Amino acid sequence: MVLTDVQINEIADGLDSGMKCYYNLLTGDIKTIIDFDSWAGADDELWEDDINEIDEHFGDFFVFENMSSRDSFNLMVDFVDVVVDSNIQSKLINALNKSKPFRNFKHAIDNSGEYRQQWFNFKKSRYIEWVKDQIETENELNDFQKSLIE
């Protein structure tokens, strides 16, 4: 499975937006649809054609997994570690240590000036790594399975 940087970025953006991303192993096409598990009650009409294609040819698709809540939390912790402004760092640490850490972190980062954009850049690069890791793992698994057959 070989994807372009543009495709990897598209998948990373989709996952970051809470979408499900499917890569067609035969055509190289990417299908990005809403994650109905996360968006209960969402209207599936907009996604109906893609859903039907995925359902009918599921074996042709690789499904990219999104980060778990734990992974997302660790991503925020990792960002806090690279913040050099001790005042902002302290606010972010406090946000993560309260109940509802995701909401509190978002509020703190939205009010952090230049660190808001740094957070978006950091998160984007980590999502790209996340996608690349899944591609690498899938390719290694496929190579291993091929070696068993030979």
Q: Which pLDDT does position 34 carry in this prediction?
A: 87
Q: Tell me if 78 sits within 8 A of 126, measured CB to CB.
A: yes
Q: Which pLDDT does position 142 carry in this prediction?
A: 83
Report in angstroms the alpha-carbon separations of 91 from 29, 80, 87. 42, 10, 6
Q: Write down the pTM of the prediction.
A: 0.90
Sheet with strand 30-34: strands edge to edge: 30-34, 19-24, 61-64
Q: Which pLDDT does position 3 carry in this prediction?
A: 97
CA 136, CA 1: separation in Å to the nearest integer?
Answer: 8
pLDDT digits (tens, 9 = 90+) for 94-117: 999 999 999 999 999 999 999 999
Of all residues in the chain, what percent carry a pLDDT higher than 90?
82
pLDDT digits (tens, 9 = 90+) for 50-93: 999 999 999 999 999 999 999 999 999 999 999 999 999 999 99
